[in-house]
Amino acid sequence: MASDSQSSSYWHILSVLGTAIVSVLGTVYFMRRGPPGIPSSPNLAIGLLTDTIGYLPHIMLLFGVIADAVTQDGVYSIASLIGLLSIFVNWAMSFFWTAVGDIVTSLRELVSNSGSFEQSGPSNPIRDAAALRRAQQRTMAGGGKPGDFSGNYDGCDVQGFSALHSKYAPQTLVVTATIFSYYLFDLISNRGWAHAGTPFAVFLVLFLAQVGVIGECSVEELGRWSKAAVAAVEGIFFGGTSYAIVQAYFPKWLPSSAIPVLPRVSSDELKPGANGTLVDSSGNPYVCMPNGQCLPDLSSADARKNFADMAAENLGTGKPATPADCPASGAPRT
């Protein structure tokens, strides 16, 4: 039954991401289709895919609030709030990267003037020509620009927050990296790598795709992949720090607390056992509700032990749950 529980967790995570993607596909489809009677774009499929990837940070920021409004778990809105705060952190970090750049530039000038690595002089034609070619290549490189997405949007800044633009790391990449990092740190710590593998792969695919479709975002500064690396570093740092704070003070509000640690079963998956009870293939007893949902029957000591061992296999520690192990998070959800 442990594999059934892991499969249930996988489907829970994939359904979360799938719902978000399907929702935005439908929305963007009607946006691009336009008013009735006006022909749709010939590149509709490409436009849908580009818009979905380009607007991914907006999806993730809104998803947490909508998910909590439906499930009333109260765990996903925190991730959206952390993603929103990362926009401000990214803007503040731009001053740090500027200082780092000034220090590096000063060191290079110092070395250049000392003649340690290259001759000093007002100009170096070979170096200047190489720099010009790199700038032209960045300008001609692929990626989105205003008009490629729905509306005048290049995919660099979260719409409405352009005043907090950073020339070192696009806001959209930072938001994606931050929210995914928060989820991944939680899953790895509290559910183990087995449950984090699929979300990690999804993150890599979506993040790299987002890097490919957004605009150049301040061509005069870093290149596309350098800015992506800076955004990933900032996102992992802020997402990991946020997870550590929530884990330390509010562990019951982590997303992993909303993922079932026991398999969800229906009456069709059970068979009659002794004393009129319903049991699974391993003999574990369940009580079925009128709506068809079945819950573990914990009335006996053997059942409590079996279900505790089953839950431990799906938690990060791999040890049976005891009151001393979880003083703040409460009983696991089934």
- Rounded CA separation 104/107 (Å): 5
* Residue 26 or 328, more confident: 26
pTM for this structure? 0.70
3-class DSSP assignment, residue 169: coil
Is 158:175 a contact under the CB 8 Å cutoff?
Answer: yes
The mean pLDDT value for 193-214 works out to: 89
User: pLDDT tens digits for 107-118?
Assistant: 888 887 775 444
Query: Is the pLDDT score of 79 beyond 70?
Result: yes
Across 145-159, b (16+ Cβ under 10 Å) vs e yields eeebbbeebbbbbbe
Res. 4: pLDDT tops 60 = no
pLDDT of residue 329: 45
pLDDT at 123 over 60: no
Asked if 318 and 2 count as a contact pair (C-beta separation under 8 A), the reply is: no
% of the chain with per-residue pLDDT over 90: 29
Whether residue 93 has pLDDT greater than 80? yes
Question: Highest-confidence range of 3-17, 23-37, 50-64, 125-139, by mean pLDDT?
Answer: 50-64
Dump pLDDT digits (tens) for 143-166: 555 555 655 688 899 988 989 999
Higher-scoring residue by pLDDT: 314, 290: 290
Confidence grade of residue 17 (pLDDT, cut at 50, 70, 90)? low
pLDDT mean over 47-57? 85
- Asked if the model's pLDDT at residue 248 lies above 90, the reply is yes
Whether 158 contacts 61, CB under 8 Å: yes
Work out the percent of the chain whose per-residue pLDDT is above 70. 69
Output the DSSP codes for 205-230: HHHHHHHHHS--S-TTSS-HHHHHHH
Q: Check pLDDT > 50 for residue 289.
A: yes
So what's the pLDDT on residue 268? 79
Q: Is the pLDDT of residue 235 over 70?
A: yes
